[in-house]
Amino acid sequence: MQAKGGSRARGRRPGAVAVAVSITAGLLGLAGAPALAAPAVISTPAPTASIADGVALTVIVPITAPADAGGLLSSASLAEYTATAPLGMLTRQLDAVVGTGAVIAIDPMILASIRVLGSTAPASAREWLARFESAPNERFALPYADADPTLFTASSAGSLPSPLGFGFAIDPANFAAPVADPTPEPTPTTTPVTTPTPTPDPSAPPAVPTDDEVVAVPGAIDGIVWPRAGTATEADLGLLGGNALILSTTDVADAASIGGLGTLGDRPTMIASGEVADAMVNASRTLDEASWLAAVADARASIADAVAAQSGSAGVVVVALDRLDAANAARLPATLAELAADGTIRLTGLTELVEGAASAPAATLVPGAQDPERVATINTRLSGESAAAGFSTATANPALVTDPARLATLALGSQSWIGRTDWPTVVGESLAGIDALLASVRVVDATFQFFADRSVLPISIQNDGPQAVTLLVTAQPRTGLLDIDIESVELTVPAGSLATAEFAATAVSNGTVLVTVTMMSPTGVPIGAPAIADVNVQAGWETPIVAAAAVAVGVLLIFGIVRTIRRVRASRRAEETATDG
Residues 372, 244: contact at Cβ < 8 Å?
Answer: no
Q: How far is it, in rounded angstroms, from Cα 378 to Cα 157?
A: 9
Q: Is the pLDDT of residue 471 over 50?
A: yes
The answer to whether the bond into 205 is cis (omega within 30° of 0) is: no
Report residue 288 CA to chain centroid gap.
40
Give the three-state DSSP class for 529.
strand
Angle between helical axes of 123-134 and 89-97 (0-180°, round to 10): 20
Angle between helical axes of 423-438 and 399-412 (0-180°, round to 10): 170
- ∠ CA 223-228-234, nearest 5°, is 70
Give start and end residues of each alpha helix (H) in 285-368: 289-308, 332-339, 350-355
Q: How far is it, in rounded angstroms, from Cα 561 to Cα 321?
A: 103
Q: Nearest 10 degrees: CA dihedral of 237, 240, 246, 250?
A: -40
DSSP at 577: H
Q: How far is it, in rounded angstroms, from Cα 169 to Cα 214?
A: 11
Give the closest residue to 513 by CA, choosing from 541, 489, 539: 539
- Amino acid (one-letter) located at 525: V
Identify which has the larger pLDDT, 487 or 68.
Answer: 68
pLDDT band per the 50, 70, 90 thresholds, residue 575: low
Residue 320, beta-bridge partner list: 60
Give the three-state DSSP class for 301.
helix
- Amino acid (one-letter) located at 64: T
Give the closest residue to 21 by CA, choosing from 300, 308, 314: 300
Q: Is the pLDDT of residue 579 over 80?
A: no
Give the closest residue to 81 by CA, choosing from 93, 70, 72: 93
Q: Is the pLDDT of residue 252 over 80?
A: yes
Percent of the chain with pLDDT over 90: 71
Give buried/exposed letters for 316-355 (b at 16+ CB in 10 A, else e): bbbbbbbbbbbbebbbbbebbebbbebebbbbbbbeebbe
Res 196: pLDDT: 55
Across the range 414-424, mean pLDDT stands at 96
Q: How far is it, in rounded angstroms, from Cα 244 to Cα 416?
A: 23
Res 202: pLDDT: 52
170 phi/psi in degrees, rounded to 5: -105, 125
Identify which has the larger pLDDT, 487 or 70.
Answer: 70
Across the range 461-474, mean pLDDT stands at 97
Q: How far is it, in rounded angstroms, from Cα 281 to Cα 8?
A: 10
Res 198: pLDDT: 54
Q: Per mean pLDDT, which of 82-91, 124-133, 339-348 is the most reliable? A: 124-133
Q: Is the pLDDT of residue 178 over 60?
A: no
- Amino acid (one-letter) located at 343: G
- Amino acid (one-letter) located at 239: L
Give start and end residues of each alpha helix (H) in 139-273: 149-153, 211-215, 234-240, 255-258
Q: How far is it, in rounded angstroms, from Cα 205 to Cα 324?
A: 34
pLDDT band per the 50, 70, 90 thresholds, residue 180: low
Tens digit of pLDDT for each residue in 201-221? 555 545 799 999 999 999 999
Q: Is the pLDDT of residue 431 over 80?
A: yes
Within 13 Å and on the Cβ side, how many CA atoms surround 225? 21
CA 334, 335, 338, 339 torsion: positive or negative? negative
Q: How far is it, in rounded angstroms, from Cα 402 to Cα 168?
A: 10
Mean pLDDT of the chain: 85
Res 52: pLDDT: 46
Across the range 52-58, mean pLDDT stands at 79
Tens digit of pLDDT for each residue in 313-356? 568 999 999 999 999 999 999 999 999 998 899 999 999 999 98
Across the range 117-137, mean pLDDT stands at 97
pLDDT band per the 50, 70, 90 thresholds, residue 41: very low
pLDDT band per the 50, 70, 90 thresholds, residue 435: very high
Res 553: pLDDT: 72
Report residue 306 CA to chain centroid gap.
38
Across the range 120-145, mean pLDDT stands at 97
Res 22: pLDDT: 28
Q: Quick one: which H or E segment has residue 560? A: helix 542-580
Identify which has the larger pLDDT, 294 or 202.
Answer: 294
Q: Per mean pLDDT, which of 54-58, 227-231, 572-576 is the most reliable? A: 227-231
Question: In sequence order, which residues have a C-beta less than 8 Å from that of residue 563 and are 6 or more positions away?
Answer: none
Res 205: pLDDT: 47
237 phi/psi in degrees, rounded to 5: -65, -35
Q: How far is it, in rounded angstroms, from Cα 444 to Cα 462?
A: 6
- Amino acid (one-letter) located at 165: G
Across the range 246-261, mean pLDDT stands at 95
Across the range 285-293, mean pLDDT stands at 95
pLDDT band per the 50, 70, 90 thresholds, residue 574: low
pLDDT band per the 50, 70, 90 thresholds, residue 9: very low
pLDDT band per the 50, 70, 90 thresholds, residue 177: low
Q: Is the pLDDT of residue 85 over 70?
A: yes
Residues 62, 105: contact at Cβ < 8 Å?
Answer: yes
Q: Quick one: which H or E segment has residue 247? A: strand 244-248
Q: How far is it, in rounded angstroms, from Cα 45 to Cα 538?
A: 103
The beta strand positions in 1-148, using DSSP E, are 55-63, 103-106, 139-141
Identify which has the larger pLDDT, 543 or 466.
Answer: 466
pTM of the model: 0.81
Across the range 416-444, mean pLDDT stands at 96
